[in-house]
Chain A
Amino acid sequence: MSQYKPGVRLRSAVCTTEVVVIAVPAGNIALSCGGAPLLGEGDTAAAGVVLDAAAAQGTLLGKRYTNETGKLELLCVKPGAGSLAAAGVALVVKSAKPLPSSD
Chain B
Amino acid sequence: MNLMMLLEMAVQGFGDRVAFVNGQESLTYQQLFDAARQAGAHLRDSECEHLALLDVSSLALPIALFASAWAGKPFVPINYRLTDVEMDALLQRIQPAFLVTDQARIATLSGAAAVAPMERHAFVDLARAGGTAATTDWPMDPDEIAVLLFTSGTTGAPKAAVLRHRHLVSYMFSAVEFGAAAADDVVLVAVPPYHIAGVISVLSSVYAGRRVVQLPNFTARAWLELAQRERVTTAFVVPTMLAQIVRELEGRSCVDLPHLTALSYGGGKMPGPVIERAMALLPHTEFTQAYGLTETSSTICVLLPQDHRAAAASDKPEIRRRLTSVGRALPGVELQIRASEGRVLTPGERGEIYVRGEQVSGEYVGRGSMLDDQGWFPTRDAGELDAEGYLFLEGRADDVIVRGAENMSPGEIEDVLVRHPAVAEAGVVGVPDEHWGEAVAALIVLKPGASATAAELQDWVKRHLRSSRVPQLVRFASELPYNETGKLLRRTIRLNLAEAHSSQSLIF
- The chain A residues found within 8 Å of chain B, CB to CB, are 6-9, 20, 22, 61-64, 75, 77-79, 96-103
| Whole-angstrom CA separation of A6 from B169 in the bound complex | 12
In the complex the two chains form, is A96's CB within 8 Å of B177's CB? yes
Q: Which of B450-497 contact A (CB under 8 A)?
A: none
A-B contact pairs, 15 of them (CB 8 A): A22-B173, A61-B9, A62-B13, A62-B179, A64-B173, A96-B177, A98-B180, A99-B302, A100-B286, A101-B262, A102-B175, A102-B266, A102-B290, A103-B197, A103-B204
Taking CB atoms and an 8 Å cut-off, the chain B residues in 245-290 that contact chain A are 262, 264, 266, 286, 288-290
Interface members, chain B 163-210 (any A CB < 8 Å): 166, 169, 173-180, 187, 197, 200-201, 204, 208
Chain A CB within 8 A of B140 CB: yes
B424 within 8 A of A: no
Closest to A94 in B: B173
Pair B187/A101 contact, Cβ less than 8 Å: yes
Total B residues in contact with A, Cβ cutoff 8 Å: 43
Task: Report yes or no: B208 in contact with A7, Cβ–Cβ below 8 A.
Answer: no
Check B140 against A8 for contact (C-beta < 8 Å).
Answer: yes
B287 to chain A, nearest CB (A): 9
B178 in contact with A103 (CB, 8 Å): no
Question: B264 touches which one: A61, A77, A100 (CB < 8 A)?
Answer: A100
B312 near A: Cβ within 8 Å?
no
Q: Which residue of A lies closest to B330 (CB)?
A: A99
Cross-chain contact A103 with B177 (CB below 8 angstroms)? no
User: In the bound complex, how far is the Cα of B210 from the Cα of A103, in angstroms?
Assistant: 11
Chain B residues lying within 8 Å of A97, measured Cβ to Cβ, are: 174, 331
Residues of A within 8 Å of B432, CB to CB, are none
Q: How far is the CB of B291 from chain A (nearest CB, A)?
A: 9
- B134-171 vs A, CB cutoff 8 Å, 1 = contact: the mask equals 00100011100000000000000000000000100100
In the assembled complex, the CB of B310 is this many whole angstroms from the nearest CB of chain A, namely: 15
Q: Which residues of A contact B92 (CB under 8 A)?
A: none
Chain A residue with minimal CB distance to B303?
A102
**What is the minimal beta-carbon distance from B467 to any residue of chain A, in angstroms?**
39
- Name B's A-contacting residues (CB within 8 A): 1-2, 5, 8-9, 12-13, 136, 140-142, 166, 169, 173-180, 187, 197, 200-201, 204, 208, 234, 236, 262, 264, 266, 286, 288-290, 298-299, 302, 304-305, 330-331
Interface contacts (Cβ under 8 Å), in number, total: 79
CB atoms of A103 and B5 under 8 A apart? no
Secondary structure at the A interface, as helix, strand, loop or mixed, is: loop
- Interface residue from A7, A62, A75, A103 paired with B236 (Cβ < 8 Å): A103
In angstroms, how far is the closest chain B Cβ from the Cβ of A70?
A: 12
Nearest Cβ on chain B to A73's Cβ, whole angstroms: 9
- Is A20 a contact of B5 with CB atoms below 8 Å? yes
Q: How far is B195's CA from A103's CA once the two chains are assembled, in angstroms?
A: 12
